[in-house]
Structure 1
Amino acid sequence: MGYKVVVVGATGNVGREMLNILDERAFPIEEIAVLASRRSLGTEVSFGDKTLKTKDLATFDFTGWDMALFAIGSEATKEYAPKAASQGCVVIDNSSLYRMDPDVPLVVPEVNADAVLGYTKKNIIANPNCSTAQMVVALKPLHDRAKIKRVVVSTYQSVSGTGKEAIDELWNQTKGMYVPGQEVEPSVYPRQIAFNVIPHIDVFMEDGGTKEEWKMVVETKKILDPAIKLTATCVRVPVFVGHSEALNIEFEDFLDEDEARDILREAPGIMVVDKREDGGYVTPVECVGDFATFISRIRQDSTVENGLNLWCVSDNLRKGAALNAVQIAEVLGQKALKKG
């Protein structure tokens, strides 16, 4: 017996990826509904070998449905997630709206799967920020061994994290560089993104950091350990899909780089590609379409007593969003709903 599943925002990048991953992982589904806003009503989306037509989110009755994977913005989520939850459907939300709500669990299954059981307070489970998700997958097994004191992270985040318009802007700006008269002025981003990097993601806050950087700090504390100190610099780069992160980690206890490599190789959701030679590492191009979080460049940091550096790469549309949501659904089924 399978689950009755709703995908909300099925016509967007993340919604379509959710459908792909539900099919790829053979998630036990009895019935599936795909929802979108009224302007996308009737748009067809693929689910395995089936073609599904979207229904109207505004009029959909969630009664009798087991779980809904939300891939819409915070404003729409604010209106429709409580409606779904009140009608008995467990919401797995990809927006930032509920992440820091103390009554809503924030879950990365490789890190804190048992937190899913807290869904009963509001019938909602939150998916973390894409840059946080891949990072805590890498940090968790190391933290279990040597206890992390402090993390310094610099991110190199792809334009797909902003959405389809950002992907189009990078593509059109790149083409415009080679075709006189077809230059494209920035509209999605405050500066040109093609052949450039922008040290600014989300809005600026009073302390000079950005909201994206703040999210990484507070979400890591909620998911992994409130005692961890973390500072982040988040940068948008001209890459279509795949987020990269350079991590500097300081531990309470010494952790040898070889042991760290072995620990990460055995950890769930991680693939280590770490050869000290040209090309002996993973870049965003190689991670696209993969479920894994890839770790490379593991090495001792000699400037602190117990430090390591590493490079972390993942498909942000998968582990950073759609895959993590489906994994949450899997854990929810195994630990709570138990129908499949």
Structure 2
Amino acid sequence: MGYRIAVVGATGNVGREILTTLAERNFPADEVIALASERSIGTEVSFGEDDVLKVLDLASFDFRGIDIVLSSPGAKVSAQYSPKAAAAGAVVIDNTSHWRMDPDVPLVVPEVNPQAVAGFRKKGIIANPNCSTIQMVVALKPLHDLATIRRVVVATYQSVSGAGKEGMDELFEQTRAIYVNDPIEKSKFTKQIAFNVIPHIDAFMDDGYTKEEWKMNVETRKILDPRIKVTATCVRVPVFIGHSEAVNVEFEKPITVEEAHAAWRKAPGVTLIDHRANEGYVTPVECAGDDPVFISRVREDFTVENGLSFWCVSDNLRKGAALNAVQIAEALIGGGHLGK
């Protein structure tokens, strides 16, 4: 017996990727329903290679009989409709920032804390972490199990698709404008993004960090270990798809590069490509469209007693959002949590 699935925000970048991922992984769905705002009613979205779904109105949809809702409509919309869907009996897997730090809502990365999915019973909602957090904790988990992480210093290089279709369009239009000598127009980003980098993602907080940087701190601690200290600098770069991170880790116990390599080779969701030669590492161009977190440039940090530095990249629309959400749904089913 299959499941009835609703995808909220089906016309957005992440919603479309969720539909693609469900089809690619042969998710056991008897029915998949695409939902979005009123202005998208009747829009057609692809589901797999052959199927097309017509978008229905989120505001008037009755969630009774739906088993799982995969939701990525924006935080304000999620605040309104995720509880409504949960009250109707669905389990909501929410991609927005609204529910992540709610103590009654589990924050889940299946390769890291799959047991946490059972916590959905408190509110009927499971939160998908921030895209930059997801790929980092997938990379950190095997190392934490091996040598116990004390502190993480991370600089991110985040693609414009993390800001949605508008971000991708702005990079394209600004790049075109530069080549044809048109004026540069900006609306999504605070500064020109084409041929530039912007050390500013999300709103500034009183302590000088941005909210994106705060998310990486608190989400890592909630998912992996509350004792870990994290400081992040999050940067938007002129890349369409794929987030990159330069990660420096300090451990409680000694750990060698060889031991880290061995742990990553056995870890789920990780692909290690670390050759100290030209092209012996992975960049966002190579990771786009793929599922794993790719790890490269692994080396000892000689400035601390037990330290390693590494580079990791991942497709932020897949593992950073859609794939992780679908994997959570698979964990719910695999753990027998839906009672079918």
Amino acid at match of 2:176: K
1:89-128 correspondence to structure 2 within 5 Å: 89-128=90-129
For structure 1, the residue ranges without an aligned partner over 5 or more in a row are none
1:156 corresponds in structure 2 to 157
Q: Which amino acid aligns with 1:266?
A: K
Match for residue 146 of structure 2?
A: 145
Equivalence for 1:326? 326
Structure 1 contact 3–339 (Cα < 8 Å) conserved = no
Question: What residue identity is the alignment partner of 1:131?
Answer: S
Supply the RMSD in Å over aligned alpha carbons: 0.8
Kindly indicate whether residue 73 of structure 2 is the aligned counterpart of residue 72 of structure 1: yes
> What's 1:59 paired with?
60
Which ranges of structure 2 fall in alignment gaps of 5 or more residues? none
TM-score with structure 1 setting the length: 0.99
- Give the distance between the partners of 1:31 and 1:101, measured in 2 at CA: 30
Identity %: 66
Superposition deviation, residue 55 in structure 1: 0.6
Q: CA deviation at 1:266?
A: 1.0
Q: Which residue identity is paired with 2:212?
A: E
State the match for 1:307 in structure 2: 307
User: In the TM superposition, what is the alpha-carbon distance from 1:339 to its structure 2 partner?
Assistant: 6.2
Deviation at 1:338, TM superposition (A): 5.2
The answer to whether 1:86 aligns with 2:84 is no
Residue type at the aligned position of 1:204: F
* Cα distance per residue 1:56-104 (max 9 Å; x no partner): 1001111111000001101111111110000001100000000000000
One-letter amino acid of the counterpart of residue 276, structure 2: R
**SS at the partner of 1:177?**
helix
The equivalences for 1:87-236 within 5 A come to 87-180=88-181, 182-236=182-236
- 1:134-181 deviation line (CA, Å, top 9, x unaligned): 00000001000100000000000000000111111101111111102x
Q: Residue 112 of structure 2: SS of its match in structure 1?
A: helix
Tell me by how many angstroms 1:200 deviates. Answer: 0.5
Contact 1:257 1:299 in 2 (8 A): yes
Q: Which residue of 2 aligns with 1:40?
A: 40
How far does the alpha carbon of each residue in 1:289-336 deviate from its partner, in whole angstroms, 9 at most, with x for none? Answer: 000000000110111000000001000000110000000000011113
Does the 8 Å CA contact 2:118/2:337 hold for their aligned counterparts? Answer: no
Does the CA-based 8 Å contact 2:37-2:57 persist in structure 1? Answer: yes
**Could you list the runs of 4 or more consecutive aligned residues of structure 1 that deviate by over 3 angstroms after TM superposition?**
336-340
Distance of 1:6 and 1:326 partners within structure 2: 12
- Tell me the secondary structure at the aligned position of residue 103 of structure 1: coil
Residues 89-127 of structure 1: per-residue CA shift (max 9 Å, x gap): 110000000000000000000000000000000000000
Residue 189 of structure 1: how far off its partner (Å): 0.7
Provide the C-alpha distance between the structure 2 equivalents of 1:224 and 1:313, rounded to a whole number of angstroms.
19
Q: Is residue 2:51 matched to residue 1:50?
A: yes
Question: Which SS does the other structure have where 2:230 is aligned?
Answer: strand
Number of residues of Structure 1 aligned to a counterpart in Structure 2: 339
Tell me how far 1:194 sits from its aligned partner: 0.4
Question: Are 2:137 and 2:224, in contact at CA under 8 Å, matched by a contact in 1?
Answer: yes
List aligned pairs for 1:212-291, cutoff 5 A. Answer: 212-291=212-291
Deviation at 1:261, TM superposition (A): 0.8
How far, CA to CA, are the matches of 1:13 and 1:120 in structure 2?
29
Aligned residue identity for 1:249:
V
| In structure 1, C-alpha distance between the alignment counterparts of 2:314 and 2:103, rounded to whole Å | 28
| Structure-1 separation of matches of 2:19 and 2:65 | 20
User: How many angstroms does 1:337 deviate by?
Assistant: 3.4
Partner amino acid, structure 2, of 1:319 = K
